[in-house]
Structure 1
């Protein structure tokens, strides 16, 4: 399975509409891949809190419309990162969208762990309460978003639900990049799963983004890693590797808690 991680740069000088159109073009360019992944809140920027209210949209809003067409044009499964979702009751959620090669909405995930320590996202958005997996032909994706990465119990729950590849869309600050790499490798090792971690590049709302999207195999080996700039990272995953790893080193069977 070939995966492409689009590490898109977000800047204050580019409009949401322009970046949405540019991201759609980048998705179309990945025809031939099986899975394409975008970062968290790439439309507005994960720290551009003042835009959350004005740019919030329903699940079938302009971002889904653009990404649905792009996924269908490219013939790919698309984890379209996350949007600021406005629910029917007016609440805002940090919601990830997964779209099928037919352009249909296959799954959504409302971010459970909101970042901000009683500020920012943590007070502006409501928390999700359900885990999400998506069955692809050769892998089952477990979906997580950014700050979720610091909570290993979420990932263990995804593995219990059948996940073999863990997808993490993020807007991770550059000042904590060491944690980004460490935690993604840790989640791969402890859950004996592939990890596809796609982060924002650029700077928005005064926060420099880490970039350094990466793909990690079930042994914790980094298969591919980007730098800090906008780029597309390509990686080939062996569909049998997860089962082989879990059979060779069956640590998951020894769980007691």
Structure 2
């Protein structure tokens, strides 16, 4: 399976409409890939919380339409990063969209762990309440978003549900870049899965983005890593490697689940 991570530069001088069209064109260029991944909240910027309400859109809004068409034109599975979704009851969510090669919306995931503590995303957005996997030909993909990376319990649940590839779009800041790399490798090692972690470049809302999107194999080895600027990172991954790794080093069978709290 060939995967391409599109590390999008988010520049506040570029309108959401213009960025949406530009990113759709980039997706269309990935015709040789099987899976294309975009970052978290690339239309508006993950830290631009003052724009969340004004740029929110319904699940089948303009970003959905543009990405569905791009996935169909390129003939790829597209994890379109995430958007600010305005639900039917008016609640805002940080929602990931996954499209099949025919442009069908195959899965959505509302981010469970909201970053910001007592401000920003944590107080402006609702929280998702379920782990989500999606079946691709020959493998199962587990969905998580940015701050979720710090919570291994979610990834254990995704692994238990059959995930072999863990896809993590993000808007991760430069000042915590070391955590980004460390946690991506940790989630790969402890779950014996591939991790495809796709971040943003540029600076938005005054927060410099880390970039350095990364693909990690089930043994924790970095297969490819981007730099700090906008970049397309393409790498071949073999889902069969997951089964071989788990058979050769069967650590997952020693899990002890449901421990009582002290």
Note the 1:24-39 alignment, pairs <5 A: 24-39=24-39
TM-score norm. by structure 2 comes to 0.98
After superposition, what is the alpha-carbon deviation per residue over 1:19-53, rounded to whole angstroms, capped at 9, x for unaligned?
00000000000001000000000000000011100
Whole-Å Cα distance in 2 between the matches of residues 140 and 239 of structure 1? 9
After superposition, what is the alpha-carbon deviation per residue over 1:218-240, rounded to whole angstroms, capped at 9, x for unaligned?
00000000000000000001121
CA RMSD of aligned residues (A): 0.4
Residue 129 of structure 2 corresponds to residue 126 of structure 1: no
After superposition, what is the alpha-carbon deviation per residue over 1:48-95, rounded to whole angstroms, capped at 9, x for unaligned?
011100000011000000000000000000000000000000000000
Q: CA deviation at 1:256?
A: 1.2
Whole-Å Cα distance in 1 between the matches of residues 70 and 12 of structure 2? 24
Note the 1:1-257 alignment, pairs <5 A: 1-257=1-257
TM-score norm. by structure 1 comes to 1.00
Gaps of 5+ in 2: 258-262
Equivalent pairs, count: 257
Whole-Å Cα distance in 2 between the matches of residues 171 and 97 of structure 1? 16
Flag as ranges the 4+ runs of structure 1 deviating above 2 A.
none
Q: CA deviation at 1:138?
A: 1.8
Give the SS at the match of 1:79. strand
Whole-Å Cα distance in 1 between the matches of residues 207 and 197 of structure 2? 19
